[in-house]
Chain A
Amino acid sequence: MKNKIETILSEVKQKIANIKEKNELFHLHTEFLGKNGKISTLLKDLKNLSADERPKIGEILNKCRNEVENLIKLKTEEIDNRILQEKLDNEKIDVTIPVKPYKTGTAHPISVVQRDLMKFFESRGFEIKYGNDVETDYYCFEALNVPKDHPARDAQDSFYIDPETVLRTHTSATQIRTMEQQKPPIKMVSTGMVYRIDDIDGTHSPIFNQLEVLVVDENVTMCDLKGMLEDVLKFLLGEHTQIKLRPSYFPFTEPSAEVDVTCPKCAGKGCSLCKNTGFIEMLGCGMVHPKVLERNGIDSEKYSGYAIGFGLDRMAMGRYGIDNIREFYENDINMLKQLK
């Protein structure tokens, strides 16, 4: 019996070595481990052995069965692995074949800049508003220290709906409404479309977009204004950005300043864009004129404030290297889809 077992084992080993396919393995399993298989038959024959021999041979036979089962299992895995490998090999692709990117929508360049600034100021405690595009003459001019005969009105030739109603020339009107309704401390941003009579050309558009910042509180100084400018412009244009203030004039701020920043094209080295000065004009700002505060019932002895005005179109032109403002309102899909 012992010999028989060994013969069976070597027979299995020999056969299994030549097996390539799973069905052969199945046959092998049946031949040896099936109901009437060679090992199963021997197991049945065990009862014919003496009580003495039975445990000994039984142990050997069990060992043999385990070994055969194990061999079949190993062979199964081997074949499975081979089949899988063949399948994977058949699935080989050329990963360098180009594809059309997954389509998603895009934001308009002006919206991108606007949203960036909104996020910055919202995180700094500002309330963000749109306000009305159609405004009264009072909120757009009078309350901002620009009376009817003021020459500053010429620079901002306005569209009129009727003698007392205009399309806002700046978003500052919303700041006045806020000051009227709200006591200091005030931190707010007004943003949206503004309108000035201008023919449409490369750098002018009768409609463009602004974002204006207003702070009114106790102890607000021009140095605070400079600090805020530095923070926001570094956030927007990069840590290397330097700023320079130079005097200017706006009727609603005093002192008023233009802010020049490190030229984004040459990083300050000097190029055609900055006319070799290393700086380009970025925005206007100033300390809120006491007359504007007083007119809105804010004590200018106690409170002071600053205002900053961003021209979003121009900033977007700078950021995306667009040199014709018209492109923003023509909305050529080829331009729009480049933005992500």
Chain B
Amino acid sequence: MIVTLNWLKEFVELDDISIKEIVEAFTFAGFEVESVKNMAEKFDFVVVGQIDKIEKHPNANKLQVCSINVGQKENLQIITGATNVFEGAYIPVALDGADLPNGVKIKTSNMRGLDSCGMLCSGEELCIDNSVYNGAEVDGIMILDEKDGKIGTPFAQILGLDDVILDVKVLANRPDCQSVVGLAKELSVMLNRPFKKPDLNFGTTNENLEFYLESETENCPFFIAKAIKNIKIKESPKWLQNRLISAGMTPKNNIVDITNYVLLEMGQPLHAYDYEQLNGKTLIARNAVDNEKIQILSGDEIELNNSMTVIADSEKPVGLAGIMGGKDYSISDNTTTVILEAATFKRENIRRTSRSLGISSDACIRYGRGVEPISCVMGLKRALNLIEQMQVGDICEKTYKNINLKEDLNIITFNYSKVEKLLGISIPLEKSIQILNNLDIKTKVDNNLITCEIPLIRSDIETSADIIEEIARIYGFEHFVSTHNEKTTPLAGSYEKPVALKNMLDDIMQTTTAHEVKTFTFISPNNYNKLLLKEDNILRDAVKITNPISYDYSVMRTQMLSSLLEIIGYNQSRKNSDYAIYEVGKVFVPKQNDLPIENNVLAYATIENNADFFYVKSITEMIANKLGLTFTYQPNNIEFYHPHISANIVIGNMVVGTIGKVHPTVAKNYEINNDIYYFEIYTEKLPPKKVKKIKQSPKYPSSTRDLAIVVNKDVLVGDLMKSIQKSAGKLCEEIQFFDIYTGEQIGADEKSVAFRLIFRKADSTLKQEEVNESVNSILSDLSKKYNAKLR
């Protein structure tokens, strides 16, 4: 919300107060000031002067020496080359120290032997044209009208620019402060100064017009209008135009400018219609008919639908309610009679329409936040007051209205002890009463009970909590002292399971070389094809966003791999190499008629130079160890992995993750040239961490046997180990795999796998026969199951 200092001053006395103090008062009332712009700044050290005397420069033909009265004790000597100056002329004088808008810095200087203590300025040097000051574009020095300002007056004041523009952030709960009066009111309360109410008085003629007004829709519960006759459309006075310009609006004509002025000052959107153009001399607020069209002020033709609200005459829409007027009905130079209308609309209806059409306006922003009926009445009155003041036309007596709501005053009664109970500080009752009364909240006190009557404009105050907030806000948050929950119940802190699990996995993963990444949980459906997922893969079944920012971010991810591959692709484009990354992130599984299931997945990918499948497997094994779990690995067949270098990670019969080399085509789809090894672990499926008992150090020596076994190439080492484990019995303490051999010494379709078996008894020294027995049983089982031979 843009407000200017001079405008605020119409409602609060601010002459003796600095901008800094005003900004602070706003800030600590809850209205952040986002910027402060001093309009006069660029004309600092430029004042109105009068030429007393002109003489020829003794040393230069083309220069004249002027004696200038700038309201100081002595006249200034200024030398000029301009020829349009004359004795007695009022001119803008840039004094020593001025920094002109065109970038020229003014200093006393010597010109051909004489001092020149400043400069007489042209419009061009001041960067202004005829639209800012009539005559500014003259060839030579600007000649000012002596009525515009006395000698010594700051030049900015002549232009009506001696103002400070504040951009104030108004919070969503205070639509009443989307106006100069609303903010002035806040300022008056913060500074504890009287508030001067805006002038709402006007007189009417007893003439009336044939005119009919009605609201046919619940979206417009309050609809009023006045007619103004004998209008002379012309330019608004300068002061009003300047106010609009400061607020970033373009002055048009007196009627339109008044509606805009009231919009800014009172926060009330008004709309003026050319009476002659209205078919049936009627204004109706109604729902639009599907496919109905309107050409709005901006020139665009818009197709409407039944959810939108319009203001219409007897034939067609004349305005998009609360957003923008129709083009054919706007005020023109020939307009003589005007219908000035004010209304309230349901804020969600205006917001929805604005959003679906992509059209916004100052009015629309205010309606979107909510406009109170009382504001319609006051806004309309203020506009009529200005129409009268500026003698724009004659106001007809009759008020046309259609009101479908009852507005009750909100009365709130509460025990004053609540204030201290909630805030923790005691505020004297008298102080609170004073604050509330300054906010126009009427109060009655009965013992400890305080009864408040809330002004209609403050619809944000609904409960006693809101009143306590008002008291605290104005009293000042700086009065709160810090206490440290001394009175609350002590509780033990804890982490919910997924949080604890992520923290633990973070700790584990950061002992590897992997860097944690954070990636977006919504992704592009293009990833399905990039990952080579089959058409019926359930990973394609994702939660979809109905209003994504783009297709690239339109579905919730069902897997983590694409997220990590995108990061690797990005890093590849930046020539980063030889690293590993991981993330514990969410994937989303759709569920019929319920919220999706959200699973946390640990995903890891490496393109380190030394990486291979077994390197990555050593990391999953480390994780299993840290969590006290045992993982087994079963070859799998997942599209995005290398068909022969991938496995399911299994506990018992449950798949808790997958691991493998990313399919080279998938890597290529993400513009990655390197081999990528990847694993993911579904953290929800991990059983709780078990504390393993520590084994006692063995008392008796172990006995070691190495076995090299020849089997068919396709037999899995894991299966051999499982068989050995089963056959070996209790005596076998450990089975270590240590070598695999293929080559000339054995058959072409055979491989030799070497194991080291460690045997031990807990309670006595092993006998060789016992070990032999165990080894024999191992070998005979291997031979039966896998046709294995001892090498």
Contacts and interface: CB of A to CB of B under 8 A. Distances in A.
Interface of A: 103-108, 110-111, 115, 118, 121-130, 132-136, 148-152, 154-155, 159-162, 165, 167, 185, 187, 191, 193, 195, 197-199, 206-207, 209, 215, 217-224, 226-231, 244-249, 251, 254-258, 287, 289-291, 304, 328-334, 336-337
Contacts of B27: 246
Contacts of A258: 32
Nearest to A340: B510
B598 A151 contact: no
A160 B546 contact: yes
A221 B425 CA distance: 9
A223 B595 contact: no
A221 B469 contact: no
Given A165-B595, A231-B484, A255-B472, A223 B496 contact: no
Contact of B518 (A105, A111, A159): A111
Interface in B68-86: none
Contact of A154 (B368, B490, B553): B368
Nearest to A293: B465
Given A255-B465, A255-B473, A331-B570, 11 more contacts: A106-B515, A127-B494, A135-B595, A154-B351, A159-B522, A159-B545, A207-B522, A222-B422, A226-B480, A256-B469, A336-B515
B110 interface: no
Contacts of B503: 115, 118
Interface in B443-468: 463-466, 468
B217 to A, nearest CB: 16
B465 to A, nearest CB: 4
Interface in B642-678: none
Given A129-B496, A133-B586, A290-B465, A108 B516 contact: yes
Q: Which of A165, A222, A246, A331 has the most CB of B within 10 A?
A: A331
B513 interface: yes
Contact of A249 (B174, B424, B553): B174
A104 to B, nearest CB: 6
7 contacts: A121-B493, A161-B543, A165-B595, A248-B30, A332-B571, A333-B579, A333-B581
B366 to A, nearest CB: 10
Contacts of A255: 423, 465, 468-469, 472-473
B547 A159 contact: yes
Interface of B: 27-30, 32, 171-175, 346-348, 351, 368-370, 421-425, 463-466, 468-469, 472-473, 477-478, 480-485, 487-496, 498-499, 503, 506, 509-522, 543-549, 553, 556, 567, 570-571, 574, 576, 579-582, 586, 588, 595-596, 598
Given A136-B595, A206-B553, A290-B465, A149 B519 contact: no
Contact of A291 (B29, B463, B510, B596): B463
B518 A328 contact: yes
B588 A331 contact: no
B362 to A, nearest CB: 15
A332 B510 contact: no
A223 B488 contact: no
A118 B495 contact: yes
Given A222-B472, A255-B472, A249 B484 contact: no
Contact of B30 (A154, A197, A249, A291): A249
B523 to A, nearest CB: 11
A332 to B, nearest CB: 6
A162 B556 CA distance: 13
A64 B105 CA distance: 108
A138 to B, nearest CB: 11
A18 B152 CA distance: 111
Given A134-B588, A160-B547, A224 B498 contact: no
A254 B28 CA distance: 16
Given A151-B172, A255-B469, A108 B509 contact: no
B171 A249 contact: yes
Contact of A104 (B175, B370, B510, B545): B510
A254 B511 contact: no
Contacts of A217: 488-489
A224 B483 contact: yes
Nearest to A126: B493
B517 A108 contact: yes
A332 B517 CA distance: 9
B548 A128 contact: no
Given A107-B506, A148-B348, A247-B30, A127 B496 contact: yes
B519 to A, nearest CB: 7
Contacts of B543: 134, 161
A243 to B, nearest CB: 9
Nearest to B466: A254
B515 A337 contact: yes
A248 B545 CA distance: 32
A160 B545 contact: yes
Which 7 pairs, one residue from A and one from B, show the smallest C-beta to C-beta distance?
A: A221-B424, A223-B424, A247-B30, A149-B348, A122-B493, A105-B510, A249-B171
B674 to A, nearest CB: 13
Contacts of A160: 545-547
